[in-house]
Amino acid sequence: MTWRVRVLPRCRLTLETGYRYSDYNLSFGSTNTYKLGLQWAPVSDLRFRGMYQRAVRAPNLQELFLQPRVQLDGTQDPCTGAAPAATAAACALTGVTAAEYGNIARNPAGQYNGLAGGNVSLAPEKADTYTVGLVLTPKFLPDFNMTLDYYNITVKNLISTYGANLILSTCLASADPFYCGKVHRTQGTGTVADGSLWINSDGFIADTDFNLGSQRVNGVDVTSQYRLDFGRAGRLGVDFVGTYVLKNATEPVNGLGSYDCAGFYGPTCGVPSPRWKQKLRATWNTPLAGLDTFLAWRRANGVASERTNVSPLLQNLPLPALAVPGARLAGVDYIDVGGSYTFAGHVTARLGINNVFDKSPPIGPQTPYGSPVFTNGNIYPQVYDALGRYAFVNLIVDF
């Protein structure tokens, strides 16, 4: 529902509201979502805007009903190897016997078992989103517009798992029986599997779904567009979109503390989260009717391994470790070119080349800085161009 009020001849105030009630045939029953937004244009060139929204996400079928099963989960076990990183007393808290200490094989791939499974008692996640920004459309530059927005998103009742790494490290550090009781090592077989968390499915860390902590992300988004008319030479359009992440913090368990993954990557943070990403695209509408060409620049800033993060919830390394290969992935810049031609009224042919200069993706080791869970080999195709230079062509026919 939207209300618009003209306060003065050139001043406009707009109020936007919304509400939704949802009912589920599950233990949590029903949910309520709503929003309240306000826009104020003191002059035609400038508009301020703000919005508050309450959103929910009900648990999905897998989170509710996934049958318990042992699968890969953790990436570390400080009680393995001939010289374990954790003491014998600490490892004993996780079920390591005196005979097993110093004799548990380390997984060379950094992969350890967890017991995953659904939880029918889950409640919906709840998110509060605040956005404040402005829209600039100056009269002296009629074909230009720009938006600048600050966003702050907080998700509570986060549907998640504790994480095998968190369970194990918390047990070792605090001797908390709640966490130590989730560690199940292979027992009494008289083989090399004794005390293992990976050699067979008898060794694992119980890590099923719960409503645990919270997540908060805030940052700034900026967009702009500009059009230039060159008469018979055609028309040039420039579009820019960029985002800067101020914080990407997760509190895995309420009261346990949080860690900030903005600018980091790794086994816990997951795929790289660059603080700054952007795309600048210039499109030339040529004098030949239907023929357009473009040139684009994509940029993602560099990221560091989470092990150089200051949070005690992540595996820290001394700052000099930044010089170690894989402790930091460099920023990347990609140049794309292409064009399209529309003919016969409803046929469009497109062709182009992405990553013209064939930039290779940043390469990081799976361990100890990266994670075999989120990578494809030793790269992150979710963030970077994995295939290098890429040419494409397609034909679209509209009926």
pLDDT of 25 > 60? The answer is yes
pLDDT of 138 > 80? The answer is yes
d(CA 274, CA 260): 12
Determine phi and psi for 307, rounding to 5 degrees: -70, -10
pLDDT of 102 > 90? The answer is yes
Work out the percent of the chain whose per-residue pLDDT is above 90. Answer: 69
d(CA 164, CA 369): 17
265-285 pLDDT, tens digit per residue, is 887 888 899 999 999 999 999
Please confirm whether the linkage preceding 368 is cis (ω < 30° from 0): yes
Which runs of consecutive H residues, i.e. helices, occur in the chain? Answer: 61-65, 88-92, 164-174, 177-180
388-398 pLDDT, tens digit per residue, is 999 999 999 98
| pLDDT at residue 297 in the model | 98
Name the pLDDT band for 195 (thresholds 50, 70, 90): very high
Kindly state the average pLDDT of the residues 81-108.
93
Return all residues near 167 (Cβ < 8 A) that are at least 6 apart. Answer: 179, 182, 183, 205, 206, 207
Joined tokens for residue 369: 């800085």
| pLDDT at residue 326 in the model | 67
Kindly state the average pLDDT of the residues 287-311.
92
Identity of the residue numbered 254: N
Judge contact between 256 and 283, C-beta under 8 A.
no
Name the pLDDT band for 76 (thresholds 50, 70, 90): confident
Name the pLDDT band for 315 (thresholds 50, 70, 90): low
Across the chain, what does the average pLDDT equal?
89
d(CA 39, CA 72): 49
Joined tokens for residue 20: 């939704």
C-alpha Rg value of the chain to the nearest Å: 27
Residue with tokens 């076990």: 77
| pLDDT at residue 320 in the model | 47
pLDDT of 213 > 70? The answer is yes
| pLDDT at residue 349 in the model | 95
